Chains A and B, each alone.
Chain A
């Protein structure tokens, strides 16, 4: 996702999870930046005393990639912040013990760069004296921000980053099968999902299409030589093999370089191997190039389930008619029966409001960004002093509530690691828009929920069809 990914030679210290070593180092690098900015000693722990512990203001820092390659994740920021600030706790203050505290949100742009993310986090802590930091969007943002927070002793909530990347980035280790092995973090929490959920989101769709078409149970993987690509290559096929008793055969397209111009050789490999299903974790322009070339080379898999791309409408519009029936995951949709824990606004109202406010189609990152602030409020409700970092961090680790992203439990028995809440994704397919969709406006392309194996509460809005007949 950034240049360092391609450039760094990654030592294979954890079998099969070599790439995650990268994200751990990204965290270490963040610490280096923090140290350079103000001296790690000054920053660590003692930062707590810096904040005006007696003040009646709770300051929340929000680190987000508003510019740069990840900017599409931050698209809903303005709208979400507007709604959050208008909600009662943020507009009128929150009563903790006998005191009513005002809440202030300070936004910082990570510019899609891990280095900048660490720098702005340090500034938020040192110059602004924030009490809590929330952050979203890809390991490039959440890992450096969380690392600085853990070191400085600032409670932190993050989202939209596979939990494995976050966990290893903070210094945790994973077993060969991708389970959390060691590492618990006092100040940092996250809610999202991981590679097993990707498998369990995509596999049911493969099985259904396979039954319809009687296609061979062979799937192709397009995984680049970067953090996400290597993580998928390491974990995805073993989990599929374990869950299906080796019923599915995997064809690896090879660890290509990001932003390659030509994929015909890889496509030839998939074709000659008889691959009928397709999974990937590429950069958006690379999927665009690949998918056009696959069509030119007449490789037409029965079902394409893509990860990391086609999450937002812009990728889909850019690909045009070739987007039809390409499937991916959605961690938030307006169709779920969920409501804001801050205002009671429904997911549907939330999405319609976004479309009216921005004139653009709803995007799934709006739900997770909104929930960052819900989680903070849930934690603040449970503490006696909002400036008590340890208490707030502890409360964050025990948040268990239902909000706009659905039920979320940071201390569930099923949590893969302490402080990790899993929000299960559903399978969506892009199809031409329809009036029946949320808001009633017809967009050129809309996501339809076609598989809800992982979350039955989200109703289906479309029928799963093969990507190619």
Chain B
């Protein structure tokens, strides 16, 4: 029963990691951009839900209704302006630019909202759960987050495979020049991909804000797990990201069960093992470097 609980609780946390990592995976898969400000965008989404959503009369629980579309738009704009400019120079510049963006966001938040911890308060719902067996309790919020992660990744998979825009994204991702020759406006496509990435990480930021307390500097903490989820799952595979996230979650849970000291370590170990044994990740495409 203990083992079952480890798998269940690990999978629930993993769902959050996957949701958090999904945008990172998409932006790397499509634009080859490693967005170092990814975690900070999530934190900004948390602050938006706490401070701005109430101004529109939206309750914290439903804040995503406002926050997600705003962040989709924001993603498009940031991509078309800042990130595109750096892609045009060279790939290394994108690292510097997104790192700078991360520092900038953190300090702006500190200036505006101080270092005080914030949380998206959804009342007693956060503490509620249902009982599966005598020792296994499942939190409603965590279960919903896992459900959202699966739904978002599933929807994205369908979107990429079965819609015109989705096919364009994949075309641009596979061969930008060829897609351009066929008339695709790759900058617009990049913008859409970034919009989706920002929207999903905004969702993750709201989930994070509900389950814990965040401060301007909280973005970095989860970025590491998100990276690991993407790498373990395999770059470019969305289902891989889900599996990667859950695998990291279960590994951490197992580590914590053995000794609370090993929680973080166990996730990192899994990441290293996968990197050593299968550098392309569990579901990564074995493509030749472009």
Interface residues, chain A, with chain B CB atoms under 8 Å away: 67-72, 75, 112, 225, 253-257, 259-266, 268, 284-285, 288-289, 292-293, 295-298, 312, 314-315, 317-322
* B257 adjacent to A293 (CB under 8 Å): no
Q: In the complex, what's the smallest C-beta–C-beta distance from A328 to chain B, in angstroms?
A: 15
Tally A-B pairs: CB < 8 A.
Answer: 130
Give, as a whole number of angstroms, the nearest-CB distance from A207 to chain B: 27
Q: A72-B116, A260-B264, A314-B116 are in contact. Are A285 and B137 (CB under 8 A)?
A: no
Q: Within residues 14 to 50 of chain B, which ones have a CB less than 8 A from any CB in chain A?
A: 16
Contact between chains at B253 and A262 (CB < 8 Å): yes
**Most chain B CB neighbours (cut-off 10 Å) among A262, A289, A295, A321:** A262
B133 interface residue per 8 A CB criterion: no
Residues of A within 8 A of B221 (CB): 259
CA distance A298 to B213 in the complex (A): 20
B259 at the interface (CB under 8 A from A): yes
Segment among B79-87, B124-132, B196-204 that sits at the interface with chain A: B124-132
Contact B117 A262 (CB under 8 A): no
Residues of B within 8 A of A284 (CB): 117, 213
A44, B129: Cα distance in complex, Å: 60
Query: In the complex, what distance in Å separates the CA atom of A289 from the CA atom of B211?
Result: 6
Complex Cα spacing A466 to B105, Å? 42
Residues of A contacting B13 in the complex (Cβ-Cβ under 8 angstroms):
261-262
B115 is an interface residue with CB less than 8 A from chain A? yes
- Within B116-142, the residues touching A (CB, 8 Å) are 116-119, 121, 123-124, 126-129, 131, 135, 137, 139, 141-142
Q: Which residue on B lies nearest to A272, using beta carbons?
A: B135
| Cross-chain contact A285 with B218 (CB below 8 angstroms) | yes
Chain B residues lying within 8 Å of A72, measured Cβ to Cβ, are 114-117
Question: Which residues from chain B sit less than 8 Å from chain A, CB to CB?
Answer: 2, 5-6, 9-10, 13, 16, 110, 114-119, 121, 123-124, 126-129, 131, 135, 137, 139, 141-142, 211-215, 217-218, 221, 225, 249, 252-253, 256-257, 259-261, 263-265
Q: Do residues B129 and A296 form an inter-chain contact, with CB atoms below 8 A?
A: yes
Tell whether, in the assembled complex, residue B119 and residue A319 are in contact, meaning their CB atoms are under 8 Å apart. Answer: yes
Question: A68–B9 Cα gap in the complex (Å)?
Answer: 32
CA A112 to CA B215, docked complex, whole Å: 14
Inter-chain contacts of A71 with B (CB < 8 A): 110, 114-116
Task: List chain A residues, Cβ under 8 A from B137.
Answer: 296-298
> Whole-angstrom distance from the CB of B189 to the nearest CB of chain A?
34
Q: Which of B114, B124, B256 contacts A265 (CB 8 A)?
A: B256
Contacts of A312 in B (CB 8 A): 116
Distance, CA A295 to CA B129, complexed state (A): 8
Q: Contacts A285-B213, A292-B212, A315-B213: A256 and B260 contacting too (C-beta < 8 A)? A: yes
Cβ of B214 and Cβ of A293 under 8 Å apart? no
B126 to chain A minimum Cβ distance, whole angstroms, is 5
Give complex CA distance A280, B115 in Å: 22
Within the assembled complex, what's the spacing in Å between the Cα atoms of A177 and B268? 37
A266-B137 Cα distance, complex, nearest whole Å: 14
Whether the Cβ atoms of B212 and A289 lie closer than 8 Å is yes
Q: Shortest Cβ distance from A137 into chain B, in angstroms?
A: 12
The CA of A289 and the CA of B126, in the complex, are separated in Å by 10
